[in-house]
Homo-oligomer: A and B are copies of this chain.
Amino acid sequence: MSLEERKIVEAQPQPQPINVLEYEELARPRVQEAHWDFYAGGSDDEVTLRANRTAFERIRLRPRVLVDVSTIDTGTSALGTPVSMPILVAPTAQHGLAHTEAEIATARAAGKAGTIMIASTSSTCSLEEIAEAARGVGGPLWFQLYIFPTLDVGERLVRRAEAAGYKAIVLTVDLPRLGNRERDRRSGFVISFEGNFVSEQKIGSRTRIPLTWDTLAWLRSITPLPILLKGILTAEDALLAVEHGVDGIVVSNHGGRQLDGALAGIEALPEVVEAVSGRCEVYMDGGIRRGTDVLKALALGARAVLVGRPILWGLAVNGEAGVFHILEILRSELELAMVLSGRPSIASIDRSLVKIM
């Protein structure tokens, strides 16, 4: 589709899907095949991609009854920032492939929904453009950071994020190299980093500096912003993260796009939560499609979840309104799940709510 054609498609009246999975079906024909595959695909045989969903089915809910659920409060905070619900917008690349308004639309929708958008280093728009869009609706932002090809470039990104008002840095630690995403290899799709790097030299995805715990110390030294590590799947690394003074951990397998065969996020969550033992906040992503998925993650100790692909489906179907609707569907499903499980507040969601089969 040309840009003009897309604008025509996007201007047409939209259906009103009633759940996230219906958005997926509607989004597919609206996105170029190679771009769809980039969004949808995992690495190798996509074992972990599928596990991210099936792992939720092995967790049963143990609802409580006769609790006063006439008032439900889905509100919580993330690193001290109040959010209307424990559902954040995960950093995903290149929203421009889904919609011409790209991250501008996403940022506005997230802000209006009262939650945090985590902007990706590899966004279509620059971080400053995203910040401006979010500012218009009072939306808090975190910045997802890839450090490459040099620390200098990383530092400049952090400085720009600070200047633009981002409230935290989410350092992705599970991408020392790109996973083997065969769909992209077949389609020839190559990700662009132009959004944030117009003024930088061309960035090659293979020329990275080694990312180690020392890098984290360096990052800690150059910014007062809270730092989260995204991509931790083990108790061992969670302990190291705590020892290195991180403010948060995102338990994640990068949407099944990096190491195939890795634990599903929801499978790894309990050991990370146990290891951390309250010393930093723990988030998770991977496979969230229903309000009950959020409930399960919170019951297993997550402070909030990050939602990735569904945001892109909403964006593709209906731009800002689509993203907003996706977030409202999830919020509404979570609220109902809290009603039906007798947990009227986020704080009341505890481990006894789930049984792993």
List of B residues within 8 angstroms of A296 by Cβ: 261
Minimum distance in angstroms from A325 CB to a CB of chain B: 15
In the complex with contacts A292-B260, A340-B258, A233-B63 CB distance below 8 A: yes
Chain A 25-60, CB within 8 Å of chain B: the 1/0 string? 000000000000000000011010001000011011
Complex Cα gap A217–B66 (Å): 11
Partner of A18, one of B45, B182, B264: B182
On chain B, the residues within 8 Å of A263 by CB distance are 60-62, 355
Which chain A residues in 253-281 approach chain B with CB under 8 Å?
Answer: 258-264, 267-268
B212 near A67: Cβ-Cβ < 8 Å: yes
Answer yes or no: A9 CB below 8 A from chain B CBs.
Answer: no
Which residues of chain B come closer than 8 Å to A180, judged between CB atoms? 333, 336
- In the complex, identify which listed stretch (A137-145, A159-167, A171-179, A197-205) lies at the interface while the others stay far away: A171-179
A210 with B70, Cβ < 8 A, contacts A47-B57, A61-B263, A292-B259 known: yes
Smallest Cβ distance from A169 to chain B, in angstroms?
A: 15
Structural contact, A340 and B68, CB atoms closer than 8 A = no
How far does the alpha carbon of A21 sit from the alpha carbon of B45 in the complex, in Å?
Answer: 10
The answer to whether A232 touches B61 (Cβ under 8 A) is no
Q: Please give the count of copies of this chain that the complex contains.
A: 4
> How far apart are A214's CB and chain B's nearest CB, in angstroms?
9
Q: How large is the interface on A (under 10, 10 to 19, 20 to 34, 35 or more residues)?
A: 35 or more
Within 8 A of B (CB), among A226-272: 229, 231-234, 236-237, 240, 258-264, 267-268
Using a CB–CB cutoff of 8 Å, the interface residues on chain A facing chain B are 18-19, 21, 44-45, 47, 51, 56-57, 59-70, 173-174, 176-177, 179-180, 182, 185-186, 208-213, 215-216, 229, 231-234, 236-237, 240, 258-264, 267-268, 290, 292, 295-296, 333, 336-337, 339-342, 352, 355
A44 lies within 8 A of B212 (CB): no
Q: Give complex CA distance A211, B69 in Å.
A: 8
What is the distance, in angstroms, from A110's C-beta to the closest C-beta of chain B?
A: 23
In the complex, are the beta carbons of A292 and B261 less than 8 A apart? Answer: yes
Closest CB-CB distance, A111 to chain B, in whole Å? 26
Chain B residue nearest to A213 in the complex (CB): B66
A71 and chain B: residue at smallest CB distance: B210
Contacts of A177 in B (CB 8 A): 69, 336, 339-340
Which of B45, B60, B186, B267 sits near A290, CB closer than 8 Å?
A: B45
The smallest C-beta distance from A206 to any residue of chain B, in angstroms, reads 11
A306-B179 Cα distance, complex, nearest whole Å: 24
Q: Which residues of B lie under 8 Å from residue A352 when comparing CB positions?
A: 234, 236
Bound CA span A285–B109, Å: 43
- A212→B64 contact, CB < 8 A: no
Q: Point out the residues of chain B lying under 8 angstroms from A292, CB to CB.
A: 44, 259-261
